[in-house]
């Protein structure tokens, strides 16, 4: 009889109902807290995303500026190279013209000297004078030649310097590209989170 009294008072669904009620109250009480935490986390992620996007935009602008500067330098370099080549060609042509003119004058002088001068003494003096003139012309040509060589060396040096600057600009451009890729990776990682 005792067992029946205990069995009749025992409700088998009581524990299950009690557990469901506690879960329901627990959910009701913790929902606003979780929501606030999630909203706060979303705001943090959005500010990080905006910061990364600003950095990315800034790096893209810097990259664009470097590319524009690089293109300007390349164009300027090619223009100067063309100018130097034209100048060098003009100097060579001028030098050839001078050389040809001098050779023509020398042959004319020798021909004239043979025709006009009869005496040994006058011929010797004229030959000495022609040799002196020829030596002076030769020295002048040597000076012009050395000036052309110096101009050519300066041109080559400026090309080397511009090549170095070009390499530095390319390295900076590659570095900015690498930073851009890293920022894009960070943005994608943050978006996935």
Per-residue pLDDT of the chain (193 residues; tens, 9 = 90+): 344 444 446 666 777 787 777 777 666 666 666 667 777 888 888 888 888 889 889 988 988 888 888 888 888 888 888 888 888 888 888 888 888 888 888 888 878 777 766 666 777 777 888 888 888 888 888 888 888 888 888 888 888 888 888 888 888 888 888 888 888 888 888 777 6
Q: Is residue 146 part of a domain?
A: yes
Q: Which of 143, 93, 95, 164 is nearest to 156 (CA)?
A: 164
d(CA 134, CA 126): 12
Q: Is residue 87 part of a domain?
A: yes
Buried-state track 160-171, b at ≥16 Cβ within 10 A, e below 16: eebeeeeeebee
Q: Which domain holds residue 44?
A: 15-192
3-state secondary structure of 117: coil
Q: Is residue 63 part of a domain?
A: yes
Model-wide pTM > 0.85: no
Count of domains for the chain:
1
């Amino acid at each position: 009889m005792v067992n029946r009294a205990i069995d009749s008072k025992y409700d088998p669904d009581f524990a299950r109902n009690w557990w469901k009620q506690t879960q329901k109250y627990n959910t009701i009480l913790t929902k606003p807290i979780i929501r606030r935490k999630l909203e706060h986390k979303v705001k943090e992620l959005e500010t990080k995303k905006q910061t990364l996007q600003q950095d990315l935009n800034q790096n893209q602008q810097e990259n664009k500026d470097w590319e524009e500067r690089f293109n300007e330098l390349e164009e300027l370099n090619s223009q100067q190279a063309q100018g130097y080549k034209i100048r060098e060609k003009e100097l060579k042509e001028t030098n050839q013209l001078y050389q040809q003119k001098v050779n023509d004058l020398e042959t004319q002088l020798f021909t004239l000297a043979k025709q006009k001068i009869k005496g040994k003494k006058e011929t010797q003096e004229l030959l000495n004078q022609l040799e002196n003139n020829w030596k002076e012309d030769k020295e002048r040509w040597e000076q012009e030649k050395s000036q052309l060589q110096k101009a050519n060396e300066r041109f080559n040096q400026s090309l080397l310097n511009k090549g170095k600057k070009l390499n530095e600009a390319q390295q900076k451009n590659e570095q900015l590209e690498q930073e851009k890729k890293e920022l894009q990776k960070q943005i994608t990682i943050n978006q996935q989170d």
